[in-house]
Amino acid sequence: MPYNLSAYLQVFRSRRIAAVMLLGFSSGLPLALTGGTLQAWMAVAGVNLRTIGVFALVGLPYTLKFIWSPVMDRFVPPWLGRRRGWILIAQISLLGGIAAMAFGSPRECPAVMGALALLVAFASASQDIVVDAYRTDVLHEEERGIGAAVFVMGYRVAMIVSGAVALILSDRIGWRNTYLFMAMVMIACMAATAMGPEPGERIAPPGSVREAAWGPLKDFFSRRSALGILMVIVLYKICDAYAGTMTTAFLIRGLGFSPTDVGTINKGLGLVSLIIGALFGGTLMVRLGLYKSLMIFGILQSVSILSFMVLAWAGKSYPVMIAAVAFENLCGGMGTAAFVSFLMSLCSQRYSATQYALLSSIAALGRIFIAPTSGYVVELVGWAQFFLLATISALPGLLFLWWMRKDIAALKHGT
């Protein structure tokens, strides 16, 4: 097939792509407001460290969201359809919850603030459930890679707004006005929901809550390749998660870079590189297809970790650090675009809210159970050898991917 750049870039003109990008922003905005930004507010207010630590439990809804996702598959709100209707409900809840947090006091009433933050996290996790389902339902097969990329871009930009920008604003207008401003931003997100297109094919929802709960599992495991695909899901991004767990500690404690260096280069340049990688990978997927993209980008994201091994050998070198951070995040972004597209291709539109929530939770298993061993491995073998082992940890996922190549290449939207 001849390469025609303009033909591949046509996908960016899609109204569906624009809606997915804006909804990515809407999904990313609340996260820091119940996480890092709230922690900063509590620290400034003089809240004790034990209380700040307990507030980490506010993030539980993001881990448990698959529990109530069947309800959002089963029931259809009376406006804007099955997906956009639930998104709007979640966004209205977020608007009210974030505004209510603005009038709270983490020092005087930590329990009330904790309850409000938990409500916002629940509404945010619920929004994520339906936005993921909407993205899966509305995007055409050739748009999945780009759709995943622009979603990541919108999500990351929103995290900057509710993270770095919110912290800067708090010094100038105070915490209450900062949180009120963030609540008002949700109004723009609601407008994006109202203007988003409906999926082209009308899909009947499950007939009962029981079917909504068990139907997704029955549908997925009816495939003869289900177990192999699950192994790909668990293992594909494990090298990224393993190396990423210790990157900041490596740069600061291992090499002696300052927190400013890490914030500017690893976080700032890393974010830009990740977004560029996701967009570039999503565009390439139109030409390469799903399996080839997963394999090529998977190899690149694993090899890119070796750049940190080179940095460990080079020592405190700014040029090598910049090159390593840019290369690793660029390749990681490409892998993320392919992986999110892969998860979307596995979901049936009838059960996409529950299936995507379950599959994304399964994908986190490697990070949850393997990544905590990283510190022990560093102490045992050293930094350079750790990054080599992180690279090698990609091999099982790539082998399962090759083994399942025919099944993955045959995946079509909603099958």
pLDDT in tens, 118-131: 999 999 999 999 99
Residue 60 above 50 pLDDT? Answer: yes
Residue 368 above 70 pLDDT? Answer: no
Sign of CA dihedral 276, 279, 282, 287: negative
Question: Which residues in 240-398 belong to E strands, given as ranges?
Answer: none
Task: Say if 11-205 and 212-409 have the same CATH topology.
Answer: yes
- For the domain spanning 11-205, the CATH number is 1.20.1250.20
Report the pLDDT averaged over residues 228-241: 85
| Percent of residues in the chain assigned helix, strand, coil, to nearest 5 | 85, 0, 15
What digits encode the pLDDT tens for the residues 141-165?
A: 777 778 888 888 888 889 888 887 8
Q: Which pTM value belongs to this model?
A: 0.78
Name which of 319, 301, 297, 300 is nearest 310 in CA terms: 319
Residue 199 above 80 pLDDT? Answer: no
Do the Cβ atoms of 332 and 277 come closer than 8 Å?
A: yes
pLDDT bracket for residue 56 (50, 70, 90): confident
The amino acid sitting at 58 is V
Domain segments of the chain as ranges: 11-205, 212-409
Q: Which one of 2.60.40.1120, 1.20.1560.10, 1.20.1250.20, 3.40.50.1820 gives the CATH number of domain 212-409?
A: 1.20.1250.20
Phi-psi region of 413 (alpha: psi -120 to 50; beta: other; left: phi over 0): beta
Q: Using the CB atoms, write b or e for 167-198: b if 16+ within 10 Å.
A: bebbeeeebbebbbbbbebbeebbebbeebee
Q: Using the CB atoms, write b or e for 292-301: b if 16+ within 10 Å.
A: bbbbbbbebb
